Amino acid sequence: MTHHHSMLTLMRNISLALLALGAFVLTAHADVGDAAKLKTVLLDGKPVALDQYKGKVVMVNFWATWCPTCKAEMPQWQKFYDAYKGKGFELIAVSIDDDEKLLRDVCKERGFTFPVAWRYDDKTDDNFGDIIGTPTLYIVDKTGKVAWMKRGRVTYAQLQEIVEPLLK
Predicted confidence (pLDDT) per residue in 110-161, tens digit: 999 999 999 887 777 888 888 888 899 999 999 999 999 999 999 999 999 9
Q: Is the pLDDT of residue 21 over 80?
A: no
Query: Is the model's pTM score more than 0.85?
Result: no
Q: Is the pLDDT of residue 12 over 70?
A: no
pLDDT at 131: 83
Phi (first) and psi of residue 119, to 5 degrees: -65, -30
pLDDT at 63: 94
pLDDT at 45: 92
Q: Is the pLDDT of residue 84 over 80?
A: yes
First-to-last alpha carbon distance for the chain, in angstroms, is: 67
Q: Nearest-CA neighbor of 147 among 33, 29, 30?
A: 33
Higher pLDDT, 130 or 18: 130
**Partner residues linked to 61 by β-bridges:** 93, 137
Looking at domain 32-167, which of 3.90.1150.10, 1.10.10.10, 3.40.50.1820, 3.40.30.10 is its CATH number?
Answer: 3.40.30.10
**Partner residues linked to 62 by β-bridges:** 94, 136
On whether the CB atoms of residues 90 and 167 are closer than 8 A, the answer is: no
The DSSP output letter for 115 is -
pLDDT at 103: 93
Residue ranges covered by each domain of the chain: 1-30, 32-167
% of the chain at pLDDT higher than 70: 83
The DSSP output letter for 50 is G
C-alpha distances (whole Å) from 105 to each of 50, 52, 71, 136, 147 are: 26, 28, 14, 22, 32
User: Rounded distance, CA 94 to CA 74, Å?
Assistant: 12
Least confident of 27-31, 73-77, 85-89: 27-31
pLDDT in tens, 34-61: 888 999 999 999 999 999 999 999 999 9
On whether the CB atoms of residues 50 and 144 are closer than 8 A, the answer is: yes
The DSSP output letter for 103 is H
